[in-house]
Amino acid sequence: MNEDIKDTEMEFEKHIEDALAGKKGEIERNLAEIIEQEKEKARRKIVEMEHDFQKGKDALRRHKDMLDEVAGAASDAGEKIRKHVDQARHCRTMIQRMAGQIGEECRQAVGIKQDVFKLYAKADEETRRLQQDLENRYGASIPFPQALEAVDFTGGLDREIDELAEFAKSLGVRGEERADAPPEAPVEACSAEPAVEVEEKPAEQPAPAPEAGPAEGGESDEDKVTGALESWKKTESFPGGGELLFYQSNSTIVLDGESLLDQMIRYIEDAKTLHTHLEETKSAKEQFFIKRDILNLQEYLRKIIIRAIKLCEKDTCDLPLLTSDIVSMQTLRDVLERLSMGNWSDPYDMRTFGEEINKLRASLFARTSDRLPYRKSILEQLSQA
């Protein structure tokens, strides 16, 4: 009996253990399934998060690319704007120069008209003088033909000259200027005289030109000629350190062609130096000021040439006759045209102009290398006044 009970108990315990093991296995299986589901959820969530982060990174990259494109477009626009502004400045400079040329042409036209009026007045005065002289000599008034009457020799252009002069003045003052830029010379009225005039010395008498021969008192002919010219030498100063050198005896003036060409070469060399600085400068602001200084040199030289031409247009002024086939009024007018139409901020334009001036200087030097004949020729021109 006890054995049966014991077997029953053992069987029951085994049954319980089997049931417990089954429950435990089921619980473990359920737990494993739950863990696997949670792991899958976590994996999907991680994938979604990575996808979202990638979208954010892509958006940031696209935004950075957009900002880079904007910055590049702004930089390109700045360069294009700078080029347009530089071109506009160049056009303004050319307009101002052409305005000055218009004013200069008007002044010359009015000057010619005034010269004719002077001829009329001189003819009328000569008529009256001759009539009075004949009356004093012969005691009778001799009838003369009617005095010359002034005719409209301008062809009715007076009004147009005035309109052109006003137009030039309006161009010369139009447009805003930088506060630190040198002021442009105003376009003068057509009837105005040049700002700087040669000082007249009517009391001075010209000395005779020394003749070649043995030196007296230890002074050579060259010293005598040089001394005489030095006593008649005069200069006019211009902006940028420029000078116009000439010799004056009474009202007779002879411009020094050598000095004039030397002035041209000096301004050209200064402009070349500025171009060297321009190539080495990266700052757009500094480049602007250097270009402005280059154009100022061109304008300073143009003013010197204009002054030289205006002097030579007078009957009392001329260039040295010995070198008139090299440096003449036409030469100066050609130089003035190149300066008025050219643009020295363009290295090629400045270089070609400089090459022409250097050729002129070489031709002139070959003619004047023997200094005594050249200086004596100038002295003879002055002595013939």
Q: pLDDT tens for residues 323-334?
A: 988 999 999 999
Residue 205 token pair? 């008498």
Is residue 335 over pLDDT 90?
yes
Strand partners, 255: 246
Q: Is pLDDT of 336 > 80?
A: yes
Among the residue ranges 62-76, 155-169, 366-380, the one predicted with the least confidence is: 155-169
Which letter does DSSP use for residue 145 in this model? P
Share of the chain above pLDDT 70, in %: 81
Q: Looking at residue 214, what is its pLDDT?
A: 44
User: How do residues 104-131 score in pLDDT, each as one tens digit?
Assistant: 788 788 778 777 777 777 777 777 777 7
The two beta strands, 317-318 and 233-238, are: unpaired
Per-residue pLDDT at 197: 38
Q: Which two tokens stand for residue 285?
A: 């602001």
CA distance 123 to 130: 10
302 pLDDT higher than 60? yes
Structure confidence by residue, pLDDT tens digits, 250-277 = 888 999 888 899 889 999 999 999 999 9
CB 312, CB 318: distance < 8 Å: yes
pLDDT digits (tens, 9 = 90+) for 170-229: 775 433 333 333 333 333 333 333 333 334 433 344 444 444 444 444 567 778 888 888
Task: Between 336 and 385, name the one with better pLDDT.
Answer: 336
pTM, two decimals, is 0.46
Query: What's the rounded Cα separation, in Å, for the pair 290 and 359?
Result: 27
Angle at 296 between CA 360 and CA 162, to 5 degrees: 90
pLDDT at 152: 57
Find the range with the poorest average confidence among 13-27, 73-87, 113-127: 113-127
Q: What is the b/e burial string over 276-305, where b = at least 16 CB atoms within 10 angstroms of the residue's CB?
A: eebeeeeeeeebbbbbbbbbbbbbbbbbbb
* pLDDT top residue among 185 and 19: 19
Q: CA quadruple 33, 35, 36, 37: dihedral positive or negative?
A: positive
pLDDT mean across residues, the chain: 77
Listing DSSP states for 122-184 in one string gives HHHHHHHHHHHHHHHHHSSPPP-PPPP----TT-S-HHHHHHHHHHHHHHHH-S---TTSPPP
